[in-house]
């Protein structure tokens, strides 16, 4: 028998995250292949913001690191916040955005672009086309999953989970087929893309990510009360006055677009969308009015820290960030799982 208040740290979570994120961003600016002191990083940032790119620090901080860590923050926030919403919608703490097929579809879209484009797909245009392919692939997959799960009686979330697994498997096997015909260079690019990375970050990509991310962060909290009621069950939520069909439709489309964008910009970064909301829920409880914003902050924090690590560990070589998110997050998650009874989980 456990009391809720003694174990939830709901009140501390938001302030701690709000403090930690700027610190992590600053560390991300200062650290990398060319180490700068915190002061140098701040000076460089100041010079860059004022349009002065004469010093090396200003160039490194302003043109390379700033768009990258901000993109990391935006992508992390999108993935974690979407994951929290999906777990609420599916009433399943194991759900994550990839369950509705968006990640697999995006992977396939990117692979198709890489294989069809071949060696013509180089540099900035190539990267953009691959991202575009990923975005379209992700959206098409979700659309298909959604159609499969929708009948005259409405959309069944249980069927959506199964359809998502089916479409993921299908996209995976078509992807493998493509790899079978791909040459070595394409294979390497496909596999690097899958591991996820933020090395393509620049201001145009940051702009796209930010617009989508901010729209998502403004939209999702409007569904917090509905998601709270939907944890009871769909008919229970209807009896509480929630228009369940509309909430489902809007949430799925919103999440598909946002996660599709995140995957297109940064590749598949596993784990953030599944485990960040899970960790945050253990600390704040399942109330989405706290869970959604706290997940967004925690996802941003995790991805910024992971990206900084990925640039430091083997500098000047970079590790794909997807590897690092799991290496950092999993031990923390497992330590929480071992104390799960304290957090009211069975």
Partner 1 sequence: MTILELAKVDANPWGDFHLRGVDFCLSAGAVTGIIGPNGAGKTSLLQLLAGDVEPSRGDCRLLGTPMSQWDMTERARMMAVLPQLSLLNFPYSVEEVILLGRTPHGTGAAMDRRILQEVMQATDTTRLRQRFYTQLSGGEKQRVQLARVFAQIWQNEGTPRVLLLDEPTTALDLAHQQLIMASLSLLAANDCAVVMVAHDFNLVAGVADQVVAVAEGQVVAQGTPAEVLTAQLFATVFGAQVTIGAHPVSGAPLVIQL
Which residues ranging from 185 to 244 are in contact with partner 1 (CB under 8 A)? Answer: 225, 228-229, 231-233, 235-236, 238-243
DSSP 243: -
Nearer to partner 1, 49 or 245 (CB): 245
Confirm or reject binding of residue 152 to partner 1 (CB under 8 A). no
Nearer to partner 1, 313 or 345 (CB): 345
User: How many residues does the structure list for the chain?
Assistant: 346
Q: What φ, ψ does residue 154 adopt, rounded to 5°? A: 115, -175
Nearer to partner 1, 139 or 224 (CB): 224
Taking a C-beta distance cutoff of 8 angstroms, is the pair 141, 255 a contact? no
Confirm or reject binding of residue 158 to partner 1 (CB under 8 A). no
Determine the interface stretch with partner 1 among 43-51, 261-269, 279-287, 300-308 (rule: CB under 8 A): 279-287
Angle made by CA atoms 158, 88, 106, in degrees to the nearest 5 = 70
Residues 2-41 vs partner 1: string with x where CB under 8 A?
xxxx------------------------------------
Residues 44-83 vs partner 1: string with x where CB under 8 A?
----------------------------------------
The two tokens of residue 96 are 């994550």
Nearer to partner 1, 185 or 236 (CB): 236
Confirm or reject binding of residue 281 to partner 1 (CB under 8 A). yes
Determine the interface stretch with partner 1 among 107-115, 143-151, 259-267, 282-290 (rule: CB under 8 A): 282-290
Among 285, 299, 320, 329, binds partner 1 (CB under 8 A): 285
Taking a C-beta distance cutoff of 8 angstroms, is the pair 300, 73 a contact? yes
Alpha-carbon distance of 64 to 147, in angstroms, equals 42
Other beta carbons less than 10 A from residue 318's beta carbon: 18
Alpha-carbon distance of 4 to 23, in angstroms, equals 30
Give the DSSP letter string of 191-202.
HHHHH---TT--
């Amino acid at each position: 028998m456990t009391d809720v208040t003694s174990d939830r740290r709901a009140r501390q979570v938001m302030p701690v995250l709000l403090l930690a994120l700027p610190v992590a961003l600053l560390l991300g600016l200062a650290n990398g292949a060319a180490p700068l002191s915190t002061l140098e990083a701040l000076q460089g940032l100041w010079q860059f913001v004022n349009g002065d790119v004469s010093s090396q620090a200003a160039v490194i901080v302003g043109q390379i690191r700033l768009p990258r860590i901000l993109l990391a923050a935006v992508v992390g926030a999108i993935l974690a916040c979407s994951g929290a919403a999906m777990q609420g919608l599916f009433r399943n703490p194991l759900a994550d955005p990839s369950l509705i097929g968006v990640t697999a579809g995006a992977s396939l879209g990117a692979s198709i672009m890489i294989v069809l484009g071949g060696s013509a797909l180089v540099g900035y245009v190539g990267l953009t086309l691959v991202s575009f392919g990923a975005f379209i692939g992700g959206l098409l997959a979700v659309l298909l999953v959604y159609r499969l799960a929708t009948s005259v009686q409405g959309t069944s979330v249980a069927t959506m989970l199964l359809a998502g697994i089916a479409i993921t498997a299908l996209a995976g096997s078509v992807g493998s087929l493509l790899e079978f015909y791909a040459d070595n260079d394409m294979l390497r690019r496909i596999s690097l893309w899958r591991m996820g990375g933020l090395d393509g970050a620049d201001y145009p990509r940051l702009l796209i990510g930010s617009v989508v991310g901010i729209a998502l962060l403004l939209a999702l909290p409007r569904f917090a009360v509905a998601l709270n009621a939907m944890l009871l069950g769909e008919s229970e939520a209807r009896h509480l006055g929630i228009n369940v069909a509309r909430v489902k439709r809007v949430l799925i489309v919103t999440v598909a677009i946002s996660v599709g964008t995140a995957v297109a910009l940064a590749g598949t970064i596993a784990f953030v969308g599944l485990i960040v909301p899970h960790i945050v829920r253990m600390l704040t409880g399942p109330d989405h009015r706290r869970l959604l914003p706290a997940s967004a902050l925690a996802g941003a924090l995790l991805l910024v820290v992971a990206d900084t690590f990925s640039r430091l560990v083997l500098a000047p070589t970079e590790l794909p960030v997807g590897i690092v998110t799991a290496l950092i997050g999993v031990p923390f998650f497992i330590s929480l799982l071992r104390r799960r009874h304290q957090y009211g989980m069975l």
